[in-house]
Structure 1
Amino acid sequence: MLGIVLCGGQSLRMGSDKGLLKHQNKLWVQVAADKLASLNLPVKFSVNPSQQEVYAAYLGKGQLIIDDTLLGVRGPLLGVLSAHLSNPEEDLFLLACDMLLMEIRLIEKLINLFEPDDNFEAYIFSKDGQQEPLCGLYKAKGLKKIVQLLQTDALAKHSMKYVLSNLKVCEAALEKQDYRCFGNFNSQEEINE
């Protein structure tokens, strides 16, 4: 299993690259990576082509997975499929870099649900019945299925929630006190709050 920190977003509302912002003297990308690494997952960083040079300076080029823009999708799905295609046999644990309040125990809970030989293709949390796709475990076999749908023009939407609707998903319901862990920060105002 490979940990993937998703940092390829445009950060338009934030006004600067979220992954390179600092929280307690660490870059947001490093905060996320440290959480995954604490559970003994090797970690790579999903970035878009325009971020490649700057992120390589911070993290090293070998740690980066660059979005394959020829896939014809955008958003988090582009990062996920690019990571899958560069590591096709690996199950991926995804964590968005802007989920600063995510707790290691929740990541560990999903990993503990994981069974290599069961029928599930993804493991995620749900909050009030809504799936939380950007902190989740995606099996290689499920991602292969999504790539096939994309290649045959059968992937009607490119959202992560639509992707999940095409997979066999194990959902863990979140306790109310853990809802805050799934907040993502998109603007300076949200950080200040």
Structure 2
Amino acid sequence: MNQLKKITGIILAGGKSQRMGQDKGLMIVNNKPFIQHIIDALMPLTHEIIIVSNTSAYDTFAIKRVEDHIPNAGPIAGIHAGLMHSKTVNNIILSCDVPMITTSLLEKLTSYKNDDYDVVQFEANRKTMPLIALYKKRCAAYCLDVLSRGEKRLRTLISEMNTKTIVLPKKDWFLVHNINTVTDLKTIIHAIDH
């Protein structure tokens, strides 16, 4: 295995997408599903990619798909499932609704892979982004501990771990923008076209 690529990419595609009204990972922007943009950004940095989803539609991407071990427990359960299936210490975890993410931006996370942080996350516009982050495999135990207490909030999980936050310049905020609504999608498409 290439030493540089001892990283697993984990894409969380298990959300209910209530605000969008359809599965966000399969929505199209620039002629490709969101999840394909994310796969393309991860490929140069990882030796394996795992999709965490209960939806078999993701099998068409010919990438390993796993389901949550703990159902209906939100993104922490998705992170837990992905880390349990990972074979690497370092893992880039991304939600499926950030199609503008780039390899070069993700490289900023991997530059901390040899440090002792549990999590390295981005911050944009004063908002931290634990679903665009580098997680150590050992974080699976923290996830299980938090979930066993009935806690589903990602912020609680992050607050209990040794976390590094990288503050992004304003020019990069666009790249980490979550697309949660049709309006968000139209805004992104408009920005691409101009």
| TM-score in same-fold range (> 0.5) | yes
Aligned partners of 2:92 and 2:132 also within 8 Å: yes
- 1:131 counterpart residue number: 128
Within the alignment, does 1:55 sit opposite 2:52 as a pair? Answer: no
Unaligned runs of 5+ in 2: 1-6, 188-194
Aligned partners of 2:84 and 2:137 also within 8 Å: no
State the aligned residue count.
181
The separation in 2 between residues aligned to 1:191 and 1:72, in whole angstroms, is 28
Aligned partners of 1:73 and 1:158 also within 8 Å: no
TM-score of the two chains, using structure 1 as the length reference:
0.84
Within the alignment, does 1:100 sit opposite 2:99 as a pair? Answer: yes
RMSD: 2.0
The separation in 2 between residues aligned to 1:89 and 1:148, in whole angstroms, is 21
Percent identical: 25
Unaligned runs of 5+ in 1: none
Within the alignment, does 1:120 sit opposite 2:117 as a pair? Answer: yes
- 2:158 counterpart residue number: 164
Aligned partners of 1:4 and 1:83 also within 8 Å: yes
The separation in 2 between residues aligned to 1:55 and 1:40, in whole angstroms, is 19
Aligned partners of 1:125 and 1:172 also within 8 Å: yes
The separation in 2 between residues aligned to 1:190 and 1:113, in whole angstroms, is 31
1:83-94 superposed matches below 5 A: 83-87=82-86, 90-94=89-93
Say if 1:91 and 1:114 are closer, same or farther in 2 by CA, change over 3 A: closer
The separation in 1 between residues aligned to 2:146 and 2:96, in whole angstroms, is 27
- 2:138 counterpart residue number: 141
Letter in 2 for 1:37: M
C-alpha offsets along residues 69-108 of structure 1, whole Å, 9 cap, x if unaligned? xx26522112111112233754321111111222221100
TM-score of the two chains, using structure 2 as the length reference:
0.83
- 2:186 counterpart residue number: 192
**Structure 1 moving runs of 4+ over 6 Å:** none
- 1:39 counterpart residue number: 45
Aligned partners of 2:120 and 2:133 also within 8 Å: yes
Say if 1:129 and 1:14 are closer, same or farther in 2 by CA, change over 3 A: closer
Match of 1:174 among 168, 184, 193: 168
The separation in 2 between residues aligned to 1:32 and 1:148, in whole angstroms, is 29
Letter in 2 for 1:84: L
